[in-house]
Amino acid sequence: MATIPELLRAGRTLSVEFFPPKTPEGHAQLDATLRAFEPLHLSFVSVTYGAGGTNRDVTREIVVGINDAWPFPAMPHLTCIGHSRVELEAMLDDYVAAGIDNVLALAGDPPADGSPAEGDFTYASELVDLVRARGDMAIGVAAFPEVHPRSADRAEDRRHLAAKLAAADFGITQFFFDPDDYLVMIDELAALGCHTPVLPGIMPMTNPTSIRRFAAMNDAAFPEELAAKVEAAVDGAERLRIVVDSTVELCQELLDRGVPGLHFYCLNRPEVTLGVVEALGLR
Ligand code: FAD
């Protein structure tokens, strides 16, 4: 199967992120979503990883299951904070033995109580180096258009990001709602000599309450006007239309500006992504 960098070199990609379900109903929902996405001919999917390794077996099970059963690669997310080198090497060995060719290399978050993280790693770039030294997987990394909340300032954020992307094969962004946040980041990276493709992560405004909370945690802008429209919708159909229309507008602007692909945070449900892809004429 092609690696994600090979797919990106071949043309614009269309991909989605899943999270590992916790219940039998959640697993059934994910299976149904995968089947609903069949007409989209997805380029790849990615599966999140519980920070510090919680739920790690489910991530592995979902990734390997999709990679075996579907004609597109499934990429595990992997965080390094809190892990030892030996642990991560064992997980990477296991993924390679199971036929997984791509990994999203992340730092994860330090303990919320402010205590120092245990383990051998502090930054995602150290995990990138570990994977690269082994030489058997393509590597994606995270990018934050509105600057990562742990960065001291914008210039430092961009310097570390450019260095990390230069060592990796591609990036995927945190969600954002203003296309300029993404486009300015790409220009800033180019000014630092970094031209590694970075896929925009698209979060439809399906659940304003949780996105508002998450945006606040990440010091990211939140479009209250759009959220208010979604919250005021008279029924599910109107809500879906508002969410799809606003996501189409964002995606169309990004496509017009030549993004390398679109990566949807679909939250294991197909409706919005299907509606957006249909409206964009990408099916
Ligand atoms: P890093 O690249 O290490 O950056 C973190 C901070 O450290 C930044 O401020 C950066 O500027 C700074 N920094 C980097 N290198 C250095 C250096 N050498 N010296 C000083 N400072 C430095 N989390 C999960 O737990 N599970 C997931 O599945 C998951 N998936 C994600 C997917 C995407 C697409 C994105 C965007 C995020 C995801 N996250 C996930 C969240 C991520 O783990 C957190 O945001 C984390 O806080 C930062 O991860 P990072 O890989 O960007 O870290």
151 CB within 6 A, ligand 1:
yes
Where residue 70 falls among pLDDT bands split at 50, 70, 90? Answer: very high
Contact (CB, 8 A) for 73 and 102 = yes
pLDDT in tens, 30-48: 999 999 999 999 999 999 9
- Is ligand 1 within 6 A of the CB of residue 243? no
What is the position in ligand 1's atom list of the atom closest to the CA of 141? Answer: 51
Q: Is 198 in the pocket of ligand 1 (CB under 6 A)?
A: no
Tell me what the pLDDT averaged over the chain comes to. 96
Band of pLDDT at residue 52, cut at 50, 70 and 90: low
Q: What does the pLDDT look like over 214-249, one tens digit per residue? A: 999 988 999 999 999 999 999 999 999 999 999 999
Choose one of 48, 139, 160 to mutate for the ligand 1 pocket test, by most ligand atoms within 8 angstroms of C-beta. Answer: 160
pLDDT digits (tens, 9 = 90+) for 178-199: 999 999 999 999 999 999 999 9
- Domain 4-280 belongs in CATH node 3.30.450.90: no
Q: State pLDDT tens for residues 15-28.
A: 999 999 999 999 99
Answer yes or no: is the C-beta of 124 below 6 A from any ligand 1 atom: yes
Q: Which of 4, 106, 176, 198 to mutate to test the pocket of ligand 1 (most atoms within 8 A of CB)?
A: 106
Beta-carbon contacts of residue 49 (< 8 Å; ≥ 6 apart): 55, 56, 59, 76, 77, 78, 79, 106, 108
DSSP state of 40: G
Residue with tokens 């199971």: 98
Catalytic residues: 17
**pLDDT value at residue 20:** 95
Q: Please state, for a pLDDT cut of 70, what percent of the chain lies above it.
A: 99
Q: How far is the CA of 52 from the centre of ligand 1 (A)?
A: 13
| 146-179 per-position pLDDT tens digit | 999 999 999 999 999 999 999 999 999 999 999 9
